[in-house]
Amino acid sequence: MNTQAHEMTENEGAAHVHRDPIGAKTGMWLFLFTELLLFGGLFIIYAVYRGEYSHGFAEAAGHLNVWLGVTNTVVLLTSSLTMVLSVSSLQRNNLGLAQLYLSSTMLLALTFLLIKFFEWGAKRDHGIFPGSEHLHAMPHGEGLFYNLYFMMTGLHGIHVIIGIGVMIVLYNRIQNGTLTRDNQGQLEYTGLYWHLVDLIWIFLLPLFYLTN
């Protein structure tokens, strides 16, 4: 009787271990879906205003630095690759290589933010920033474009910062041995989040930098 009870307990524990990763992955996909809804709503708002003020949007977009936007796209796409390599290395239980690729991903993410900082700084030097008098004095279409630009790229930047924060935590967990091949899901789900961040930027690039 005790043997049967013990076997039942083991089976329940095994089932629990089996269910948890599935539940975590489902929860992660639901979270990513809500993120898509958030940015999808902003994309719809952008499309409506762009249809109404196409000339103003094209005029304002002509003053953005296309090369910085393209460079940041290359940076983020490369960071997606290093994230994939980090997850793959952890799956092979090569912790040192997983850390190396994860730190590379963080470095590329910081590079993205640095480029964006200088890009925003250049706009601020010209008096173009949320709430500025110069922005309010612009034609309505151009003002709407820049407001959407700062809001959507700023929201995306916040997601990049969150991603960096999570990666720092995971890097430390790999360092102290609490994140290994046996519980790789934490890094895998972070990778899914990071790919979404990259995907959103791929949509932002043509909307703001290539619209003129």
CATH of residue 93's domain is 1.20.120.80
Phi, psi at residue 63, to the nearest 5°? -100, 0
The predicted pLDDT at position 8 comes to: 41
**What's the predicted TM-score (pTM) here?**
0.85
Which tens digits make up the pLDDT trace of 3-44? 444 444 444 444 333 344 666 777 877 888 889 888 999 999
| Contact status, residue 60 vs residue 146, Cβ threshold 8 Å | yes
Question: What average pLDDT score do residues 76-85 get?
Answer: 97
Question: What average pLDDT score do residues 77-85 get?
Answer: 97
- The chain-wide mean pLDDT, for the chain, equals 87
Domain of 184, in residue numbers: 2-209
Which tens digits make up the pLDDT trace of 145-171? 999 999 999 999 999 999 999 999 999
Q: How many domains does the chain have?
A: 1
Question: What average pLDDT score do residues 48-54 get?
Answer: 92
Q: CA 212 to CA 208: how far, in whole Å?
A: 9
Question: What average pLDDT score do residues 122-134 get?
Answer: 88
* pLDDT-derived band at 212, boundaries 50, 70, 90: low
Q: Which residue has the higher pLDDT, 19 or 127?
A: 127
The predicted pLDDT at position 53 comes to: 92
Residue 127 has pLDDT above 70, yes or no: yes
- Full 3-state SS string of 71-124: HHHHHHHHHHHHHHHHHHHHHCCCHHHHHHHHHHHHHHHHHHHHHHHHHHHHHH
